[in-house]
Amino acid sequence: MIKILANDGIDPIGKALLEKAGFVVDTETVPQDQLAEALKNYDGITVRSATKVRQELLDQVPNIKLIGRGGVGMDNIDVEYARSKGIAVVNTPAASSLSVAELVFAHLFTGVRFLQDANRKMPAEGATKFNALKKAYAKGIELRGKTIGIIGFGRIGRETATVALGLGMNVLAYDLFPFDGNLTLNLQGGIQVPIPVKTVSLDEVIANSDFISLHTPFADRPILGAEEFAKMKDGVAVVNCSRGGTIDEAALIAALDSGKVSFAGLDVFDNEPTPNEAILAHPKISLTPHIGAATNEAQERIGAELASLIIEHFNK
Ligand code: NAD
C-alpha cells in the first residue's frame, strides 16, 4: 500500500480521490526537525509552502519517490537535487490562477473607491465625521473603459486580462515571449467569446495604462522602479500579486507620496513575513498577506490535481 504524507494538508477532495485509488494519506503535520525520521514510512510527501524539502532531508529518506507541491512556487523544494536522485517533483501551476486574478480586482475595486482608507477610518471616525469622510471619498472612478497594463502574460496574467475584458476594460499586455491570439471569455450558459489580444512593448504598457498589474516571477531586480514610475500616467495605480521584490518598495512609496501613483494594492512584499512598516502603514495601499491562491475553489482544484498527478505517477 502506497503511503503519502500530506504535511501541509490537502483538500478533502484530493484526499478522497487518493483513498479511493487505494492510497493511505496522513494529514497531520510532522515538525520539520522530525520529518527525516517520519518519512522513512512514506512513499511520497505533499507540501504547500510551509514544509521545506531540502537536500539534507532528501539524503535521509530513501523511500520517497514523489514530492507534490500544492500550488505554484517550488522555492521550498530542492527540485533539481530531488530529480537527480530519481524523485518525481510535481506541482499544480494552473489551479489558482483565477483566484489570484480575482484578488487583483479586489485591490482595484478597493483602490478606485478608497476602501483601503475608508475601512481604516470608518470604525474610528464614521460616527463623528461621517460627512467629512463622505466628501473625502467622493471622487471614485469606474474600471469600465479604463486600460489595464499587464506585465507578465502567463497563466495569471492572461486570467487577469480575461476578467478585465469581461469588465469592459482595455488590455495592454507585455511578456518576454510575445503573445498574439485569443483569450476566451466564459459566460453564463456556456457561452464562450474569443477576444483577440496581442502583447505590446513594456514601454507601451508603462506609458499608456491607467492601472498596472504585475504577474512575473522575481528575477534579480525589480521590474518597476523609480525610472518606470516616472514614465507612467499621472494618477496610475499599481497592483502586485506576483512576488515580493518585483516592485521597488521605496520607489513606490515615493510615487504614492508625490501623487504620481494614486494607489497600490499589494499581496506580496519584500522580506515576507515581516514587510516594511512604511508599506503596511501607508494610507494609499490596499494590503493582503499573500493570499492570492487562498480560496476554497483553488484549494479544491489544487487537491484534485495533486491527487491525479500522484495516482498517475504511482500507477505508471
Ligand atoms: P507563469 O509562468 O504562467 O507566467 C509568468 C510569465 O511571466 C511568463 O509568461 C514569463 O514569460 C513572464 N515573464 C518572466 N519574466 C518577465 C519579465 N521580466 N518581463 C515580462 N514578463 C516576464 O506564472 P503564473 O502562474 O502566471 O504566476 C505569475 C506570478 O504569480 C509568479 O511570480 C507566481 O509566483 C505568482 N503567484 C502568486 C500567488 C499569490 O498568492 N499572490 C499565487 C500564485 C502565483
Convert the pLDDT of each residue in 212-259 to its tens digit: 999 999 999 999 999 999 999 999 999 999 999 999 999 999 999 999
Distance 151 CA to ligand 1 centre (A): 9
Q: How far is the C-alpha of 227 from the C-alpha of 235, rounded, in Å?
A: 16
Q: How far is the C-alpha of 162 from the C-alpha of 172, rounded, in Å?
A: 12
Q: In whole numbers, what is the pLDDT of the chain averaged over residues?
A: 97
User: Is 272 tagged catalytic?
Assistant: yes
On whether both 28 and 115 belong to a single domain, the answer is no
Mutate which of 105, 156, 268 for ligand 1 pocket (most atoms within 8 A of beta carbon): 156
SS3 letters across 16-78 = HHHHHCCCEEECCCCCHHHHHHHHHHCCEEEECCCCCECHHHHCCCCCCCEEEECCCCCCCEC
DSSP letter for each residue of 126-147:
TTTSHHHHHHHT-----STT-E
On whether both 82 and 119 belong to a single domain, the answer is no
CB atoms within 10 A of CB 84: 11
CA 193 to chain CA centroid, nearest Å:
25
On whether both 87 and 177 belong to a single domain, the answer is no
CB atoms within 10 A of CB 1: 6
Q: How far is the C-alpha of 84 from the C-alpha of 264, rounded, in Å?
A: 42
- Cβ–ligand 1 contact at 217 (below 6 Å): yes
On whether both 283 and 301 belong to a single domain, the answer is no
Structural contact between residues 114 and 177, judged by C-beta atoms closer than 8 angstroms:
no
Number of structural domains the chain divides into: 2
| Ligand 1 atom, smallest distance to 94 CA | 25
On whether both 104 and 221 belong to a single domain, the answer is yes
Residue nearest to atom 33 of ligand 1 (CA): 242
What pLDDT is attached to residue 72? Answer: 85
Element (H, E) at 123: helix 115-125
- Cβ–ligand 1 contact at 166 (below 6 Å): no
On whether both 86 and 227 belong to a single domain, the answer is no
CA distances from 298 to 74, 149, 292 (A): 17, 25, 10
pTM: 0.91
Fill in the amino acid letter for 217: P
Q: How far is the C-alpha of 163 from the C-alpha of 105, rounded, in Å?
A: 8
Structural contact between residues 135 and 194, judged by C-beta atoms closer than 8 angstroms:
no
- Cβ–ligand 1 contact at 157 (below 6 Å): yes
Structural contact between residues 226 and 247, judged by C-beta atoms closer than 8 angstroms:
no
Q: Which three cell numbers stand for residue 169?
A: 476594460
On whether both 193 and 161 belong to a single domain, the answer is yes
Tell me the residue range of the domain where 11 lies. 3-94+296-314
User: Is 312 tagged catalytic?
Assistant: no
On whether both 73 and 160 belong to a single domain, the answer is no
CATH number where 202 lies: 3.40.50.720
**132-137 contacts at long range (C-beta below 8 A, 24 or more positions apart):** 137/113
Q: Which three cell numbers stand for residue 260?
A: 504620481
CA nearest to 212, candidates 146, 122, 272: 146
- Cβ–ligand 1 contact at 292 (below 6 Å): yes
Could you report the per-residue pLDDT of 62-117, keeping only the tens digit for each?
999 999 999 988 999 999 999 999 999 999 998 999 999 999 999 999 999 999 99
What pLDDT is attached to residue 316? Answer: 87
User: Is 282 tagged catalytic?
Assistant: no
On whether both 144 and 219 belong to a single domain, the answer is yes
Could you report the per-residue pLDDT of 85-94, keeping only the tens digit for each?
999 999 999 8
On whether both 46 and 195 belong to a single domain, the answer is no
What is the mean predicted confidence (pLDDT) over 131-150? 98
Q: How far is the C-alpha of 76 from the C-alpha of 48, rounded, in Å?
A: 9
On whether both 186 and 222 belong to a single domain, the answer is yes
Could you report the per-residue pLDDT of 271-307, keeping only the tens digit for each?
999 999 999 999 999 999 999 999 999 999 999 999 9
Q: How far is the C-alpha of 258 from the C-alpha of 230, rounded, in Å?
A: 11
- Cβ–ligand 1 contact at 215 (below 6 Å): yes
User: Pick the catalytic residue: 102, 113, 204, 290?
Assistant: 290
On whether both 173 and 246 belong to a single domain, the answer is yes
Q: Is the pLDDT of residue 163 over 90?
A: yes
Instruction: Please report, to the nearest 10 degrees, the dihedral formed by the alpha carbons of residues 262, 199, 251, 169 taken in order.
Output: 10
